[in-house]
Homo-oligomer: A and B are copies of this chain.
Amino acid sequence: MITRMSELFLRTLRDDPADAEVPSHKLLIRAGYVRPVAPGLYTWLPLGLRVLRKIEKIVREEMVAIGGQEILFPALLPKAPYETTNRWTEYGDGVFRLKDRRGNDYMLGPTHEEFFTLTVKGEYSSYKDFPLLMFQIQTKYRDEARPRAGILRGREFIMKDSYSFDVDDAGLKTAYHAHREAYQNMFKRMAIRYVIVSAVSGAMGGSASEEFLAESEIGEDTFVRCVESGYAANVEAVVTAVPEARPAEEVAGLPPATVHDTGDTPTIATLVEWANSAGLGREITAADTLKNVLLKTRVPGGEWELLAIGVPGDREVDDKRLGAALEPAEYALLDDADFARYPFLKKGYIGPKGLLANGVRYLVDPRVVDGTAWITGADETGKHVVGLVAGRDFVADGTIEAAEVRDGDLSPDGAGPLVSARGIEIGHIFQLGRKYTDAFAADVLGEDGKPVRLTMGSYGVGVSRLVAVIAEQQHDELGLRWPASVSPFDVHVVIANKDAQARAGAQELARDLDRLGLEVLLDDRTASPGVKFKDAELLGVPWIVVVGRGWADGVVELRNRFTGEKREIAADGAVADIAAALTP
């Protein structure tokens, strides 16, 4: 079908909308793809909806290809199952809640683990029914604190969420890897540049959860990667490259720890200054000191407990990494009242020995391996200890991945330095295991006649967000540029000649392209060629055919929106030439 711009519901805007911050947001509004209705709520106008549907189709095809069966849950969901898993409370302000006319509680579903689990439990009862993989492409809701960047982070959005159910871990791994490949296929088909990053540290098995991040400077997620090995991880999930422990014979040769009067040296900087003036026989840096950070932590429903974290003095504790490492416990820094309560805590002079002697839980950065010697607090105001050796002079309660990650840090595989970059989460795959099947006692009869608890994976793709991600990655200074697989049209025919014969010829050309099965946008408006060219660049259809002044000489112009290349082709036989150019 030919879409005529004289009839298309579209107004392009000359200026950027006032509140738009990122390029994709500006351009999708200027080009008439979406319109805001309220913060984080957008209307898909005809062009935007066409792109959205093409992305949905690719996602659906790749899910079906791995055996996914499509179903569709309501978005309006009753409270009870979310109470069973405690998520009714855990979601906090992040979801929309409402009551019906009878006063019953409902949530606008942000994700559907509970209901998929209940549905599978309701229908199936034997191991023979598995493996099972179901998905939906559905409108979801989150009451974001700060809806931003247009459809990149909306409050109503479209997601593909899928769930795998298996009777054993091997089945879960198979489903997980099938998703991983399906996601790679779908993002490749959309020409998206992305990385797959570990989303949790190796403690849980390395690949239990990975995120697909589209590379983008405006992304909210920071990740690091190693160019040499391809290792990539969320900042939260980066595993520290641990130096080998010093051999015992080497440690035996180390001098004993000595306590020094260091004067007023409550900070790392002042301590380093003291050390370099104390004649310790070598240049001391912050990395030689051990900084002990005091926190209190609390598991949900529990009491506050002290926690001390020891990190090399040249690194800060990273909030995100600390939060991820302590989850589900919450934490807070100690305030003055807390310090007053524990007089053994000498602020600025806290050391491992005092912490351990007073029963404070003490976790250290993985770099603090056995045999490393540190300058650290001596638990008396104005005093530090030099040459305190881990494993010899103190034994921490464990390690914690909480220190900041820096560009140039060694990749955990040792292959090279880590470099940080920003990305937008477009997919997430997660081996959930039995969290939800335990909550609902989702058992089936096993091959041996005994009940088997199902194991589960959950997998998401931000379908509507992908429209903005592609716009973000592919746009240039002139406007949007759509990869052919998701472009609202295959070809954009611009009539840039008022001559009746040229107009008729353009219409004929559009009809011939349509007959070939191509989706044609025909600019048949009475506007000037300049306005039409600008709009064509803004709208971003990858191929533009201009029926202009050349028509009299029997030529039309074919433009490639990505490369900017223009070439004249004979009007006679143009259809075949255009079709050939469009064939990848």
Q: Which residues of A contact B (CB under 8 A)?
A: 1, 7-11, 32, 35, 37-38, 41-46, 49, 52, 64, 67, 69-78, 93, 96-98, 100-101, 104, 106, 108, 115, 119, 122-124, 132, 134, 139, 141, 143, 145, 155-156
Contacts and interface: CB of A to CB of B under 8 A. Distances in A.
A523 to B, nearest CB: 16
Given A69-B8, A93-B101, A145-B101, A115 B43 contact: yes
Contacts of A73: 37, 43
Given A41-B77, A96-B98, 7 more contacts: A7-B67, A37-B77, A43-B72, A43-B119, A44-B71, A96-B100, A96-B106
Contacts of A108: 76, 98
A305 B439 CA distance: 61
A76 B7 contact: no
Given A9-B132, A76-B155, A123-B9, A71 B46 contact: yes
A186 to B, nearest CB: 18
B46 A124 contact: no
Given A37-B115, A100-B96, A100-B143, A76 B156 contact: yes
Given A76-B155, A119-B35, A71 B98 contact: no
Contact of A76 (B69, B96, B115): B96
Nearest to A115: B37
A101 B95 CA distance: 9
A41 B100 CA distance: 12
A9 B43 contact: no
A49 B135 CA distance: 12
A-B interface, 7 closest residue pairs, ranked by CB to CB distance from nearest: A98-B98, A44-B72, A38-B78, A41-B74, A11-B123, A93-B101, A74-B156
A331 B9 CA distance: 44
12 contacts: A7-B67, A8-B69, A9-B123, A38-B78, A41-B74, A41-B78, A43-B74, A75-B156, A93-B101, A96-B106, A98-B98, A98-B108
B9 A69 contact: yes
Nearest to A35: B119
